[in-house]
Structure 1
Amino acid sequence: MMRKICLFIVLLFVVFMSCKNSRKESFEESEDYFDTVRKITIHAMPEDLLADKSDSIKSYYSLFENHEIWVDRENREDLIFQIEKAKEEGLYPEDYNINKIFQLELRLDSLELEEKLSYDILLTQTYEKLCNHYYKGKLNPNDVYENWDLFDKKISIGKLLKEAIDSKKVAASLKNLLPKHPVYLSLKEALVLVNKLPNKTFDSLNKNLKIKFNDTTRVVKEIKRRLVYWNDLQGKDTLSKKFDKSMLEGIKKFQKRHGLFADGVIGVGTLKALNTNKETRKNQILANLERWRWFSRNLGEEYILINLPNYQLDYVIENDTVATHKIVCGRPQRMTPILSSKLSNFVFNPTWTVPPTIIKEDLSVEAAANRNYFYKNRITIYKGKNTVVSPAEWDVEKAESYRYVQTPGYNNSLGVVKFNFPNHHLVYLHDTNHRDYFNLKYRALSSGCVRVENPVKLAKKVLEDQDNGRWKSLEIIRKERAEKEAKLKANKNYKPKKLTPEEEIENQKRLAEEKDAIDQIIADKETYYIKVKKPVFIHQLYWTSWSDKNGLHFREDIYNLDKILFDKLNVKN
C-alpha cells in the first residue's frame, strides 16, 4: 500500500513539472533592458497581464520577446491619427477606443508601470482590430447575408505589426490594407460630398403624380428646391411653379445620376428618388464602403466585373475596360449570388436542363394546365438517365422526379452561348431568349443567373486574348488584311494585281475558310465547348453608390442589402 502511495506522489510530481515546463514553453519570462540608442528602458511584459488575452495578442508579444511594443511616441501617434481618420472610411473612431487611448496618452508620464503595460496591450489590440476592419471589413459578410461567396482573404497581422513598429511605418501599414479600387475611392469622396449637404429632411411627394415639361403646378416649386439641394439645379427661379427649360435639364441630370431614363418626365421612379433624404443616402454610402472592404483587393489582370444593381458588366484587361454590356440579374425572390470565381469554358448552342426551383414553381404549374407546354418550349422529358417520357405519359404528381432538357437554338432559354465558372450556387452567365428585357431600366428579372446582352460579341472578345489564332474574330482578320493592303498601296510602285478566274475562286475559298469560327459553330446548331485557358476572373458584386464629376450616383437597392447591412454596421462595438 505504501509503495502505491509513493508511486502516486511521484506521478503527481511528474505531471506538475510537465505542466510547469509546458507553461514555460508557452510564455518565456523576459527581463527589462536598457536601449542605449533610444536611451529608454524597455519593460518586460508580465505573464499575468497577458493571461486573459487572445492567442493572437500573445503571439504578437512573442515576436517582441515578450516586451512592450509601443515604446516609440511616433508609432503611438501614427496609430492614434489612423484611428481618427477611420471616419473617412465610414467607420467609427469610438469603436477603436479613441477616447480612452487619447486620455492615457496625455497621462502617460504619470502612469504606474502596470498601467503603462496595460496601455501597451490596448494599443496592440486596437491595431489588430483596425487591421482586420480595414482589410476584411467590420462585419463578416456571411453573418449579414446569404448567397455570399467571395475569395478568402488572409492577413498576417503579426508580421505586419513587427515590420511597422521596427520601421516606424504604422500609418502606412494600415493604409495599405484599404481598398485601392476607383469605386471605393469614389465612395470616400461621396461621403465627403454628402456630409457637406445641409441636414434637411423632405416631406414625401405623391408618387402617383406625372409631371412633364411646361406643366405648371404647385409641386414643381418643391421639386425645384430638391434639385437645388442635390446640386442638379442652380438656385435661380426656384419660386416659379412652371416646369421650365432649366428644370428640365436639372431633372435629366438627377435622373441620370440615379440610373433612371433621363427623359425629363417626372414619374414614380423619379419621385421615389426625390423623396429620399440625406441621411438615407449617407447610410447607403456607409454600407457600400463596408461591402468594398469585403471584396477582393486584387481582381486579377483580366476579369469580368458585374455590378448587379447597375445591371452592367465590364470586361477589364490590365485596368482598361475593353467592353461594357447590359445584364439582367435575378429578381428579388431569386437573388443572383455575390461571388468571385474564374471562367472555365464557353458552351455554344447549349442545352438547358430546367433547375429544381423552376420545375417546382413554373414548369409543373404551366405544364399541368397545358401539356403542349413541352412541345412549345422544345423540352424533352427524361425518366432516369435516358428514358424519354412523352407529354401524354408525364405524371404531374411526380413532376419533380423527372429531368427536363431544352434543345439548343436561338430561342433556347440560355440562348446560343453560356459562360461557365465553378461556384456553389449553380449559376452562370448566358445569352437569353428574352432579349427585349435589355431595353428596360429595371432588369432584376431572371431566376438567378446573369443574362448578358450581345454575349457572342463578349465571348469572341475574351477568346481573342486566349492566344489561340483559331478563335480570331473576322473583324480582327479583316483589320490585319486592311493594314497589309495599306502598306502595299503606300508603295509608289504598287499596282493592284488582276486575279485570274482560278485565283478569284481560290481567294473566295480562302475567305470562306477564314469566316469566323464561332459564327460557324453557332450556325451548325451543335453543342460545342471551348475551354478558357488563360485566367479570366469573374466577380459578381453589389454596389449602389459612387461619385464622379457629375456628383453623387445612386442605384435602386434591388435586394434591400443596404439597409440590412447599415443596421448591423451602425451597432458600435
Structure 2
Amino acid sequence: MPSAIGLKPLILAGVMALSLATAALAEDAPPPQADSLLERLDEQEGALRDFYAVREGRPAWQDVATVADFAAALRTLDTDGLNPLDYRPDALVTAHRQVYAEGSTPADRARFDLQASRVLLTALRHLQRGKVDPYRIDPDWEVPIEAPPLDLPAISRAVDAHRFEQAFAAARPSAPPYERLRAGLARYRHIERQGGWPMLPLRPEPLRPGDLHEDVPLLRERLAIMGELEVMVADLFAGVESRDTDPRRYDERLVEAVKEFQQRHLLEVDGIIGPQTREALNVPVSRRIDQIRVNLERARWLLHGLPDSFVLVDIAGYRISYFRPDGDVWRSRIVVGRPYRRTPSLRSRITYLTLNPTWTVPPTILREDVLPGVRRDLGYLWEHDLMVLSPSGQRLDPREVNWWHPGNVILRQRSGPQNALGRVVLRFPNDHLVYLHDTPAQGLFAREQRAFSSGCIRVQGVLQLAQYLFDDTGTPAHVATLVSEGVTRNISLERPVPVILHYWTVDPSEDGRLVFRPDIYERDAALREALDRPLPR
C-alpha cells in the first residue's frame, strides 16, 4: 500500500486532470445566453432568424474586440453617403460593456446579441438596396429593386473574423459607377475640409473672353481647386505665368477651362460667365456633397441585376445608351418631359416597334394644349394635320363639333415626316403611356438642356437604334426600307430588350470626374431629407 507521501503527487495529478477536462467541456459548451437566444428567435424577423440559423444559434457579439471593430466599421459608412450615427456605433460599445459587466443576466446578453446583429443586417441592407424606399418619395416610381439576397454564411464568417469591411464591400453595388461616386464624395469632402472654393460676386454684366476684370483671379482659383484643367492647377500653384501678364485677363486657357466646366454642368458651352454659369460656379461644396450622396442612394436602388444588354435612359442627363450584346455601346441625345410633365422612372421591356406611326393626341395634351388652340382658331387642326374622329373611328367634320364641349372626340395625326412621333416608335408596357420615338423637331437636340416633351422620350438617331434592336434580337427587318414604303405597321422583336428610365443628377464619367446636372424635376431635396432622417430607435 502506498504511503501518504506517495499518494500526494497522484492526487494532485488527478485534480489537475479533472480541472483541465472540466475547462475543456466548458469551452465546448454553449454560453449561457445561447439558450436565451434560441428562445427569442421565433419572435424575430426572417433575416435575423436566418442569420442565427446559419450560426446554429451561436452568439455573435460576446467578444469586446468584435464589437469595437464593428463600431469602427460602422463609422466608415459616411464614405457611402450614409450617416454612421443612424447605426449608433458608440452606443453599441457602451451597451456591450454594460451587459457583460458583473451582475448581468444571460437574457440581457441575448438581447444585446440580437440588437447588434439587427444593426449589422440593417447597415448591409442599406448598402445594398438603399436606406430610403423610393416608392415613399416618388409616386410615379416603377423600378423594382433587384438586389440579390444577402450571403448570410459569408456575413457570419466575416463577423467571426472581424472582417466587416469585407461584408460591406460584398453588399455594395459592384458596378464601376458606384465606386466612382464614392471616390468623388471623398474628393469633395477633402475640398470642404480645406475650406471649399471662393464665391464669385453676383454681377449683372457677363464676363466675356478677353475681358479684363477683377473677378478673373477668383475664377482662376475656383477652377484650379476643382482641377477643371491640370494646366490651371499648375498655373495657380507652380507659378507658371500666362502669356498675358495681367492676372485679371480672361485669357484663352481660362476660357477653355470654363467651357469644360459648362459642358460638365450641362450649360451652354460658350465660355461666357453669365447668370447660369456664375450660379453653377457658386454652388457651395456642401451642396455638391449632398448631391453626390443623393445619387449614391439612387445607385443603390438601380445598380443590381442589370442585364448584359439593355437600353438605359438617363433623364436628367438628356441621353440614352444602348448596351449591345457584343459589348459595344450606342449613345445619343434625347429630349425628355418638361418639369410639369415629367418623364417617369421605370423598368420595362421593349417588345415591338411602330414604323410610320400615326399619333393619337393623348388626353392631357388634348385638354391642355390642343383644345385651347382649336378654340382660338379652327385652322389649328389643318396646320397640325389632325383628323377628328368619333370614338368608333368615324371621320367627323370639325365645323360640326362644339369645341367647348367636344365630348369623346379623338384627334389623330397622319403618318409622315411631320408626324409628332416621326418615323419610328419603340414601345414598352408601362402605366404612363410613354415610349421612345423619333421627332421632326431635330433642332432641339442641339440644346444643352432638353426638357421640352410631354413625357415621352425623343431620341436623336432613333432609326439607327431601331436597326440595332432588330439586328441584335434576330428580327428580320430593315428599318430604312420599311420607312420608305410609308406604310404604318408594328413589328415585334424576336426577343424583348430591357429598358430602364432613371433619374441621375450626378453622373460619374469614366475619367473619374463628376458631371453635375440641374435637378430639373426637383427630386433631390425630398430624397436628401429622407436620407438624413434618423432611423427610429
Structure-2-length-normalised TM-score: 0.84
Report if the CA contact (8 A) 1:352-1:407 is conserved.
yes
Q: Which one of the candidate residues 101, 126, 151 is aligned to 2:92?
A: 101
Alignment-mate amino acid for residue 455 of structure 1? V
Change (3 A) 1:204 1:246: closer
Structure 2 Cα separation of the partners of residues 364 and 205 of structure 1 = 47
Structure-1-length-normalised TM-score: 0.79
How far off its partner does 1:40 sit? 5.7
Tell whether 2:442 aligns with 1:435.
yes
Report if the CA contact (8 A) 2:198-2:221 is conserved.
no
Report if the CA contact (8 A) 1:207-1:272 is conserved.
no
Report if the CA contact (8 A) 2:54-2:152 is conserved.
no
How far off its partner does 1:221 sit? 3.0
Tell whether 2:79 aligns with 1:83.
no
Write the mapping of 1:182-261 to structure 2, written as runs, cut at 5 A. 182-197=176-191, 198-200=194-196, 202-203=198-199, 205-206=201-202, 208-232=204-228, 233-234=232-233, 235=236, 236=239, 240-261=247-268
Structure 1 Cα separation of the partners of residues 366 and 87 of structure 2 = 51
Aligned to 2:368: 361
Specify every segment of 5 or more residues in structure 2 that has no aligned partner in the other structure, as ranges: 1-22
Q: Which one of the candidate residues 106, 109, 117 is aligned to 2:110?
A: 117
Write the mapping of 1:145-164 to structure 2, written as runs, cut at 5 A. 145-153=138-146, 156-157=149-150, 160-164=151-155
Change (3 A) 1:74 1:466: farther
Specify every segment of 5 or more residues in structure 1 that has no aligned partner in the other structure, as ranges: 1-33, 472-516
Post-superposition CA distance 1:395-425 (Å, at most 9, x none): 2123362111111111100000000011111
Post-superposition CA distance 1:95-120 (Å, at most 9, x none): 11211123345667536233322220
Aligned to 1:343: 350
Tell whether 2:491 aligns with 1:530.
yes
Post-superposition CA distance 1:3-61 (Å, at most 9, x none): xxxxxxxxxxxxxxxxxxxxxxxxxxxxxxx9969646342125776687556545654
Tell whether 2:479 aligns with 1:518.
yes
SS at match of 2:343: coil
Aligned to 2:310: 303
Tell whether 2:129 aligns with 1:136.
yes
How far off its partner does 1:214 sit? 1.0
Alignment-mate amino acid for residue 186 of structure 2? V
Aligned to 1:488: none
Change (3 A) 1:74 1:203: closer
How far off its partner does 1:320 sit? 3.2
Paired positions, count: 493
Q: Which one of the candidate residues 502, 509, 517 is aligned to 1:555?
A: 517
Change (3 A) 1:319 1:289: farther
How far off its partner does 1:362 sit? 0.2
Alignment-mate amino acid for residue 521 of structure 2? Y
Structure 2 Cα separation of the partners of residues 400 and 176 of structure 1 = 58
Report if the CA contact (8 A) 2:388-2:396 is conserved.
yes
Aligned to 1:126: 119
Change (3 A) 1:372 1:38: farther
Report if the CA contact (8 A) 1:302-1:535 is conserved.
no
SS at match of 1:345: strand
Aligned to 2:533: 571
How far off its partner does 1:356 sit? 0.9
How far off its partner does 1:249 sit? 2.6
SS at match of 2:292: helix
Structure 2 Cα separation of the partners of residues 114 and 563 of structure 1 = 43
Alignment-mate amino acid for residue 557 of structure 1? D
How far off its partner does 1:156 sit? 4.2
SS at match of 1:341: strand
Alignment-mate amino acid for residue 352 of structure 1? W
Alignment-mate amino acid for residue 128 of structure 2? Y
Report if the CA contact (8 A) 1:186-1:546 is conserved.
no
Aligned to 1:175: 169
Change (3 A) 1:87 1:77: same
Q: Which one of the candidate residues 23, 44, 55 is aligned to 2:35?
A: 44
Structure 1 Cα separation of the partners of residues 533 and 24 of structure 2 = 43
Q: For the aligned residues, what is the CA RMSD?
A: 2.9
Change (3 A) 1:88 1:550: closer
Structure 2 Cα separation of the partners of residues 270 and 189 of structure 1 = 25
Aligned to 1:450: 457
Aligned to 1:498: none
Post-superposition CA distance 1:283-327 (Å, at most 9, x none): 000000011111140221111112111111111125834211100
